[in-house]
Amino acid sequence: MESTAPLDCVALLLVDDRRVLVERRKLTKRLAPGTLAIPGGHVEAGETLEAALLREAREELAIVPRDTAFVCTLMHLAEELRRLHYYAVRRWDGAIVPDEADAVIWLAMHDARHLDFDVDRTAVNEYLRLEREGGLVWRTRA
């Protein structure tokens, strides 16, 4: 019997001055080439969400998150059902290098409608709601 459990993924909402970092996916990507999306990736077997967040930040953007806050978990049907865990990152070490994308773009949060995936637009709006209501709980890593 085929497994129907959702595939866990993490997504990084890098935020700076009312902007969010988005990536233009490489045209060579098998899934959603050329789309404008929030960076992130799969959680590997046995990996915690926090470990996946740190690994994906390093692999996708060559950074190490320092201040993070959980934003929301959303379901998304791609090739399979995915459970996307969104984390805001407001401070990090390292210069952003888009290793897994053609480009990265700082997008004004009020322009989230330009993102190609509904779940990414929803996550940005949830971040803004939590920020407005004081609901973000920031965690600082040494």
What is the distance between the alpha carbons of residues 85 and 83, in angstroms, rounded to a whole number?
7
Place of tokens 């290793």: 99
Indicate the CATH number of 7-137 among 3.20.20.140, 3.90.79.10, 3.90.1150.10, 3.30.930.10.
3.90.79.10
Containing H/E element for 139? strand 139-140
Between 22 and 1, the more confident residue is 22
Mean pLDDT estimate for the chain: 92
1, pLDDT greater than 70: no
3, pLDDT greater than 70: no
Q: How much is the average pLDDT of 77-87?
A: 91
Q: Residue ranges of the domains in the chain? A: 7-137
Instruction: Give residue-wise pLDDT tens across range 42-79.
Output: 999 999 999 999 999 999 999 999 999 999 999 998 87
Residue 30's region, left for phi above 0, alpha for psi from -120 to 50, else beta, is: alpha
